Amino acid sequence: MVVYHNGLPVCMLVGRLDLKRLAVNIGYVRCYLPKARVLAFIRGGFLGKQSSENCELLTRGIIDSLRSGEADVAELKNVRVNSPLYCVVRSLPGFLCRDHVPVVNPHGSLRSVGTFEEFWNGLCRKHRHNLKRQARLFLRKFAAGMEIRCFWREDELERLIYDAEQVAKKTYQRTLGVGFADSAGSRQQLKMAAERKWLRGYVMYIAHQPCAFIIGLQYRETLYTLFMGFDPKYSRFSPGSVLLMRCIQDAFTPSGPDRLLEIDLGPGDQRFKLAISNNQWQEGTVGIFAPTPKGVLLNLIRTTHVIIARFAHGVLAETDLGKKTKRLWRAALSRK
């Protein structure tokens, strides 16, 4: 969708039309809604002048598309909650078609602050202590057989995909249908990145077997992390944290084409992301539902599921019993 002023394009909103099931996670149970036609507008797909006036024009265009029967719901992913687009999408649609419970997550990044030592000293004392303890424990156990390899070139892509898949298929994320998977879509994305020299892959090996990985894309001076994972049998030794520290150390190179000024850690409230990021904001995935019986029903079902999920997360997850249940649940999903 493109907005023009005096015949010149001033902004655009990029998305696609999907036929899929919307889903809501309640704990680690993924609840699927009825199949629907979804106008999915991608993260970072709003380009150009993002004024309130332009956001209102685009939102009215989306509503018109839904009213005409093009789709049952529009989904705008990872929109900053303090942006004009988020405010307009939350307020302009009618009550029955409005998203009353958008899913909001923190998003963190690590901006270069000079040297790695300066970054390290900027961390809170408790987190520095935990990272040192994890690194000592890991190296004491595996230093002799540990190796970290970097994958940047196109001719290294097959090895990166194979080794990452060996780790990813053991994680609890695989049971939930999220995270890295050796699929046609992932291969196409990583192949394009390798061809354009954007690919950045790190794999940690213990006794020549992969145990953790980080895969990202470097565009200009920012590294966008796409996938992370580690073999759950090593969870006591935190190999993911050790590998991430290596990735951050490489980011603080003094100069050259591979110098990074920022590592985008992606959305999510994982504790390690919030602890090491020095730039944080809130993002919401917000929907607009079609003014049709199916659209209104989808909104009602989704709203009910999200309210239950928030109750489970906010009230139960923070208790000692909830935390213990969460750990056992993850372990069971990993075994599965």
Is residue 210 located within the same domain as residue 169? yes
Backbone angles phi, psi at 291, to 5 degrees: -80, 60
User: Could you identify the residue written with the tokens 């970097």?
Assistant: 150
Cβ–Cβ under 8 Å, residues 109 and 307: no
How far apart, in Å, are the Cα atoms of 48 and each of 3, 4, 58, 65, 89? 10, 11, 13, 22, 18
Per-residue confidence (pLDDT) for residue 33, from 0 to 100: 79
Is residue 297 located within the same domain as residue 314? yes
Query: What total of structural domains would you count in the chain?
Result: 2
- Please give the Cα distance from 41 to 109 (Å, whole number): 22
50 in a structural domain: yes
- Number of other CB atoms surrounding residue 58 within 10 Å: 23
Give the 3-state DSSP-derived string for the chain, with helices as H, strands as E and coil as C.
Answer: CEEEECCEEEEEEEEEEEEEEEEEEECCEEEEEEEEEEEEEEEEEEEECCCHHHHHHHHHHHHHHHHCCCCCEEEEEEEECCCHHHHHHHHCCCHHHECCCCEEEEEEEEECCCCHHHHHHHCCHHHHHHHHHHHHHHHHHHHHHEEEEEECCHHHHHHHHHHHHHHHCCCHHHHHCCCCCCCHHHHHHHHHHHHCCCEEEEEEEECCEEEEEEEEEEECCEEEEEEEEECHHHHHHCHHHHHHHHHHHHHCCCCCCCCCCEEEEEECCCHHHHHHCCEEEEEEEEEEECCCHHHHHHHHHHHHHHHHHHHHHHHHCCCHHHHHHHHHHHHHHHHC
Give the burial string for 71-87 (b: 16+ CB within 10 Å, else e). bbbbbbbbbeeebbbbe
275 in a structural domain: no
220 in a structural domain: yes
Cβ–Cβ under 8 Å, residues 28 and 336: no
Return the CATH number at 254. 3.40.630.30
Range of the domain at 324: 2-107+282-335
- Please give the Cα distance from 299 to 20 (Å, whole number): 15
Residue 58 tokens, joined: 């685009």
pLDDT digit string (tens) for the chain, length 336 residues:
999 999 999 999 999 999 988 877 665 566 777 889 999 998 889 999 999 999 999 999 999 999 999 999 999 999 999 999 999 999 999 999 999 999 888 998 888 767 778 888 888 888 888 888 888 888 888 878 889 999 999 999 999 999 999 999 998 788 777 789 999 989 999 999 999 999 999 999 998 999 999 999 988 888 898 999 999 888 888 888 888 888 888 877 655 556 678 888 888 777 777 778 888 899 999 999 999 999 999 999 889 888 887 776 665 555 665 566 556 655 655 566
Per-residue confidence (pLDDT) for residue 1, from 0 to 100: 94
Per-residue confidence (pLDDT) for residue 26, from 0 to 100: 64
- Please give the Cα distance from 18 to 40 (Å, whole number): 7
Per-residue confidence (pLDDT) for residue 221, from 0 to 100: 82
Is residue 130 located within the same domain as residue 181? yes
- Please give the Cα distance from 80 to 281 (Å, whole number): 7
Is residue 255 located within the same domain as residue 292? no
Is residue 79 located within the same domain as residue 139? no
Is residue 92 located within the same domain as residue 125? no
Is residue 25 located within the same domain as residue 58? yes
Is residue 194 located within the same domain as residue 157? yes
Q: Are strands 199-206 and 146-151 parallel, antiparallel or unpaired?
A: antiparallel
Is residue 159 located within the same domain as residue 245? yes
